[in-house]
């Protein structure tokens, strides 16, 4: 840049018409379009992933809510009962009666299919012992038609839900191709049907060997007790901490330390909270393993930063003029906060709390370490207090347990469990949104 260059006359831009784009503008507009397309592409990718996620949850999860049942009407006469009881292999005798009755029913409906005791056992389990147990327990039903409703075996269930196909099936001691002919015949006769599986929603977990009987009910209860602990600890502590930090804390190093601490805790990996729970609550304080109380305590510590951050934001949103007004009529600072600021900030606080709870409800990693995973919750807790301290599972932990089992039929249960978990989360978030919409105040 020399002065000499300044002497040259200023090179004015070539006069160009506004209505015709020059080459450079065309090029720039193309770049603009391209850039915009990247943005649309990014959004589309995000939405595409969401769609894939939603479809795979629904497609794989919905079958968990249905189960395949075999319902047969069967009549056993008194003399048949006596005869069967007189034999050496009693259950085999019952099976034989059942098979011949079934054969008759099918023939009446004009369906021809051949089967033996072994294939019946593969399709619907050991029918003989079921019958014997029933008639030994209630002999008065002898001679009358009784409806037997039996769960189909897991593989037959899979056949109806598309998990098992004729093409992919290899004859094994669990199921053969011939059995599928029988299953088709029974389905045609209306003996095998698919019904809604209430047991999945209300039942408890089953062992590794019985995927059909597994239910999520007990772990919903476990999660419920955990959320009670989280709610009743994190809300008061979180609000108290926020009030102090936002309204009363002097600006000093201690306050700075607490603030830095909270923002860091919010980003500490959840598994570290699991380690904390293991070391402090189980190793040190000897609280029971797998208990919702311990899970709740760990999740409380994890949720606190979230609640504190959102509560402080709501407190900050209340304008200082409200505080001044209260102080102006002679209220103490404490009174101005508790009588005026806190009620005004309450909708925001509750919204933040619900969102924090929803996060805690879906959290799995810390529960792995305090023993809530792998535990087979076979039943409901038998009281309110034992609900907190008896070992139980929680929804996400139960889902993980199922996903980690070797039998692929449990995967379906895991997806089904996810649907239930997401329904809870969705409900909580909708409540939060409604609260926010209804009570949000703009100053």
Partner 1 sequence: MPVFWLIVIVLALAAVGFILGRARALQSAGGDRRDLHSLPIYYGSNVAMKSLVPAFLLMIGWLIAQPFAVNYAVSGMIPDSVISEGSSRGLILAEVRRTSDGLTNAVASGALTDDMARDAGADLDAVTTRLKDAGQVVTSQITQPVLHAAQRYRALNATGNWVMTGLVLLTALVGVLWGLKETNADFRARNVVEQGVMALLIAAASIAVLTTIGIVFSLIGNTWVFFNLYPAGDFFTLLEWAPSFSGRGGSSSLGVLPLLWGTFYISIVALLVAVPVGLFAAVYLSEYASPTVRSFAKPMLEVLAGIPTIVYGLFALLTIGPMLLSVFGPDGTGWMGGQRAVITAGLAMGIMLIPFVSSLSDDIINAVPQAMRDGSYGLGATKSETIKQVILPAALPGIVGAILLAASRAIGETMIVVLGAGAAARLSLNPFEAMTTVTAKIVSQLTGDSDFASPEALVAFALGMSLFVLTLGLNVLALFIVRKYREQYD
Partner 2 sequence: MYDVPNTEINVEQRDIKISARKVQVYYGTTHAIKDVNCEIQDKTVTAFIGPSGCGKSTFLRCLNRMNDTIDICRVEGDITIDGEDIYDKRVDPVQLRAKVGMVFQKPNPFPKSIYDNVAYGPRIHGLARNKADLDVIVERSLRRAAIWDEVKDRLDAPGTGLSGGQQQRLCIARAVATEPEVLLMDEPCSALDPIATSQVEELIDELRQEYSVVIVTHSMQQAARVSQKTAFFHLGHLVEYGDTSKIFTNPVDSRTESYITGRIG
User: Starting at the edge strand that comes first in sequence, how are the strands of the sheet with 66-75 ordered?
Assistant: 145-151, 66-75, 192-196
Instruction: Pick out residues in 16-55 that bind partner 2 (CB under 8 A).
Output: 16-22, 24-25, 28-29
**CB of 25: closest distance to partner 2 in angstroms?**
5
- Which of 337, 263, 345 lies closest to 311, judged by CA? 345
Query: Per CB under 8 A, which region of 16-24, 160-168, 191-199, 356-364 contacts partner 1?
Result: 356-364
Instruction: State which of residues 131, 369, 377, 420 lies at the interface with partner 1 (CB under 8 A).
Output: 369
Beta bridge partners of 74: 146
Query: Per CB under 8 A, which region of 10-18, 98-106, 131-139, 307-315 contacts partner 2?
Result: 10-18
Q: Is 56 in the site for partner 2 (CB under 8 A)?
A: no
Angle, helices 292-317 vs 253-265, to 10°: value is 120
Q: Is 199 exposed, middle or buried (0-12, 13-18, 19+ CB in 10 A)?
A: middle
User: Using CB distances below 5 to 8 A depending on partner kind, what does residue 270 bind out of partner 1, partner 2, none?
Assistant: partner 1
Tokens of 110: 């004009």
Tokens of 384: 């309110």
Q: Which is nearer to partner 2, 22 or 79 (CB)?
A: 22
Query: Per CB under 8 A, which region of 77-85, 89-97, 321-329, 357-365 contacts partner 1?
Result: 357-365
Q: Which is nearer to partner 1, 123 or 241 (CB)?
A: 241
Q: Which is nearer to partner 1, 350 or 395 (CB)?
A: 395
Buried-state track 48-69, b at ≥16 Cβ within 10 A, e below 16: eeeeeeeeeeeebbebbebbbb
* Contact by Cβ (8 Å): 242, 315: yes
Please count the residues of this chain forming the interface with partner 1, following the rule CB under 8 A. 88
Q: Is 172 in the site for partner 2 (CB under 8 A)?
A: no
DSSP characters over 317-330: HS-HHHHHHHHHTT
Beta bridge partners of 192: 70
**CB of 47: closest distance to partner 2 in angstroms?**
23
**CB of 36: closest distance to partner 2 in angstroms?**
14
Query: Per CB under 8 A, which region of 38-46, 81-89, 187-195, 317-325 contacts partner 1?
Result: 38-46
Query: Per CB under 8 A, which region of 180-188, 317-325, 345-353, 355-363 contacts partner 1?
Result: 355-363
Cα Rg of the chain (Å, integer): 33
Please count the residues of this chain forming the interface with partner 2, following the rule CB under 8 A. 19
Q: Which is nearer to partner 1, 22 or 79 (CB)?
A: 22
DSSP letter assigned to residue 203: -
User: Using CB distances below 5 to 8 A depending on partner kind, what does residue 273 bind out of partner 2, partner 1, none?
Assistant: partner 1
User: Using CB distances below 5 to 8 A depending on partner kind, what does residue 6 bind out of partner 2, partner 1, none?
Assistant: partner 2
| 84 to 123: interface string for partner 2, x by CB under 8 A | ----------------------------------------
Geometric angle at alpha carbon 52, from 48 and 55, rounded to 5°: 135
Tokens of 62: 């919905």
* Contact by Cβ (8 Å): 299, 237: no
Q: Which helix (H) or strand (E) holds 73?
A: strand 66-75
DSSP letter assigned to residue 443: -
User: Using CB distances below 5 to 8 A depending on partner kind, what does residue 434 bind out of partner 2, partner 1, none?
Assistant: none
Q: Is 334 in the site for partner 1 (CB under 8 A)?
A: yes
Q: Is 438 in the site for partner 2 (CB under 8 A)?
A: no
Q: Which is nearer to partner 1, 214 or 368 (CB)?
A: 368
Q: Is 299 in the site for partner 1 (CB under 8 A)?
A: no
Instruction: State which of residues 81, 94, 200, 273 lies at the interface with partner 1 (CB under 8 A).
Output: 273
Q: Is 224 in the site for partner 1 (CB under 8 A)?
A: no
Tokens of 105: 């029913």
Whose tokens are 């019946």? That residue is: 120
Q: Is 384 in the site for partner 1 (CB under 8 A)?
A: no
| HSE-up (13 A, CA, CB side) for residue 222 | 34
- What's the Cα-to-Cα distance from 17 to each of 10, 12, 25, 27, 119, rounded to whole Å? 21, 15, 12, 17, 87
Residues that bind partner 2 (CB under 8 A): 1, 5-6, 10, 12-22, 24-25, 28-29
């Amino acid at each position: 840049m020399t002065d000499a260059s300044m002497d040259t006359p200023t090179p004015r831009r070539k006069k160009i018409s506004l209505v015709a784009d020059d080459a450079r503008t065309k090029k720039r507009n193309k770049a603009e379009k391209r850039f915009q397309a990247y943005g649309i592409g990014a959004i589309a990718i995000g939405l595409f992933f969401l769609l894939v996620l939603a479809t795979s949850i629904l497609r794989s999860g919905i079958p968990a809510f249905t189960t395949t049942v075999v319902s047969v009407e069967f009549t056993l006469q008194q003399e048949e009962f006596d005869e069967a009881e007189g034999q050496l292999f009693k259950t085999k005798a019952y099976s034989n009666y059942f098979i011949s009755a079934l054969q008759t029913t099918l023939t009446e409906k004009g369906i021809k299919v051949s089967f033996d005791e072994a294939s019946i056992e593969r399709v619907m389990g050991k029918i003989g012992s079921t019958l014997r147990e029933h008639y030994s327990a209630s002999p008065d039903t002898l001679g009358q038609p009784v409806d037997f409703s039996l769960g189909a075996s897991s593989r037959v269930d899979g056949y109806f839900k598309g998990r098992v196909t004729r093409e992919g099936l290899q004859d094994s001691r669990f199921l053969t191709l011939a059995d599928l002919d029988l299953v088709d015949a029974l389905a045609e006769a209306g003996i095998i049907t698919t019904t809604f599986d209430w047991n999945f929603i209300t039942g408890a977990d089953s062992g590794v060997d019985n995927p059909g009987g597994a239910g999520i009910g007990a772990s919903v209860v476990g999660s419920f007790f955990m959320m009670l602990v989280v709610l009743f600890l994190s809300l008061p502590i979180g609000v108290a901490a926020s009030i102090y930090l936002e309204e009363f804390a002097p600006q000093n190093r201690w306050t700075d330390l607490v603030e830095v601490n909270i923002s860091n805790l919010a980003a500490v990996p959840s598994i570290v909270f699991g380690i904390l729970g293991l070391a402090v609550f189980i190793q040190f304080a000897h609280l029971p393993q797998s208990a919702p109380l311990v899970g709740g305590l760990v999740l409380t510590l994890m949720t606190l930063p979230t609640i504190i951050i959102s509560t402080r934001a709501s407190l900050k949103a209340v304008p200082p003029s409200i505080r001044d007004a209260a102080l102006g009529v002679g209220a103490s600072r404490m009174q101005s906060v508790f009588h005026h600021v806190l009620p005004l900030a309450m909708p925001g606080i509750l919204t933040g709390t619900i969102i924090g709870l929803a996060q805690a409800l879906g959290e799995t990693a810390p529960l792995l370490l305090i023993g809530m995973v792998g535990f087979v919750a076979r039943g409901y807790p038998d009281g309110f207090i034992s609900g907190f301290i008896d070992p139980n599972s929680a929804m996400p932990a139960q889902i993980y347990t199922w996903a980690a089992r070797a039998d692929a039929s449990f995967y379906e249960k895991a997806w089904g469990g996810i649907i239930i978990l997401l329904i809870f989360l969705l409900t909580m978030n909708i409540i939060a949104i409604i609260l926010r919409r209804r009570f949000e105040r703009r100053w």
